[in-house]
Amino acid sequence: MAAKYHRMKLFDVILILFFVVLTIMILYPFYNAILISLVSENEYIRTPFLLVPKKIVLDSYRYIVEKSMIFKGMRNTIFITAAGVLYNMFLTTICAYALTKDFPGKKILSYLIIFTIYFSGGLIPYYLLIKNLNMMDSMMSMVLPMGITFMYMTVIQRHFESIPSSLIESAKMDGANEIQILFKIVLPLSMPIIATFVLYYGVDRWNEWWNGMLFIKSVDKQPLQLILRNIVQDATTTNSSASSASGAMPFGDGIKMASTVISMLPIMCIYPFLQKYFVSGIMAGAVKE
d(CA 215, CA 130): 8
pTM of this prediction exceeds 0.75: yes
Residues 34 and 115 in one domain: no
Are the C-beta atoms of residues 181 and 269 closer than 8 Å to each other?
no
Residues 20 and 160 in one domain: no
d(CA 153, CA 208): 20
CATH number where 115 lies: 1.10.3720.10
CA proximity to 177, closest of 189, 185, 187, 188: 185
Boundary residue ending a domain (30, 57, 84): 57
Separation of CA 197 from chain center: 10
Over the stretch 130-167, which tens digit does the pLDDT of each residue have?
889 898 988 888 998 888 888 888 888 888 888 888 88
What domain range is 199 assigned to? 61-284
Boundary residue ending a domain (25, 42, 57): 57
Q: What is the mean pLDDT of residues 3-16?
A: 72
Residues 161 and 213 in one domain: yes
Over the stretch 74-113, which tens digit does the pLDDT of each residue have?
889 999 999 999 999 999 999 898 888 888 888 888 888 8
Query: Is position 13 within any domain?
Result: yes
Give me the number of domains the chain comprises. 2
d(CA 137, CA 157): 35
Query: Is position 20 within any domain?
Result: yes
Residues 89 and 218 in one domain: yes
Query: Is position 209 within any domain?
Result: yes
